[in-house]
Amino acid sequence: MRYWDTSALLPLFVRQEATGEVRALYEADDRVSTWSLTDVEISSAFARLARESWLSPLQHAELTKALDTMWRGVHLVDRLEAVRGRAKRCLRVHTLLAADALQLAAALVASQDAPEGLELVCLDRRLADAARREGFPVLPG
């Protein structure tokens, strides 16, 4: 099992430069773990792309359906109080946006505060740097 940030899951749905590499990691992962509100972040990206006419209404609907299907098999980190406390600490020690601090905190909860034992899949450089400082092995390399 690996922990997946929104930045790494989005290319599974929307073609990006990293899509091939991320898809290979996804297909090799036996169980995806992520923050329970990651689907909201992904849905936000879909909506933005639709508003900016990068997605047609039909494509938007198809991507939303694909996300809902994938979401059924995801291991969700949903321990709000545990995540909240760690996120506040992450905001004090790392230069992160709130959503990224919540992702990093959820990964810490998923790892049971032993980050060296859980790979984190992330394409966001700032979040990846903070995760490495916390002790996570970050993919892609």
For the segment 105-113, the average pLDDT, to the nearest whole number, is 98
CATH of the domain at 58: 3.40.50.1010
Segments forming the whole domain that contains residue 28: 2-139
Buried-state track 32-57, b at ≥16 Cβ within 10 A, e below 16: bbbbebbbebbbebbeebbeeeebee
For the segment 13-17, the average pLDDT, to the nearest whole number, is 95
- Looking at residue 30, what is its pLDDT? 80
The SS3 of residue 121 is strand
Binning pLDDT at 50, 70 and 90, where does residue 40 land?
very high
Structural domains in the chain (count)? 1
* Mean pLDDT taken over the chain: 97
**141: pLDDT strictly greater than 80:** no
φ, ψ (nearest 5 deg) of residue 31:
-160, 115
Q: Which two tokens stand for residue 140?
A: 């892609």
* pLDDT digits 0-9 by tens, 42-96: 999 999 999 999 999 999 999 999 999 999 999 999 999 999 999 999 999 999 9
Q: Which two tokens stand for residue 11?
A: 């290319």
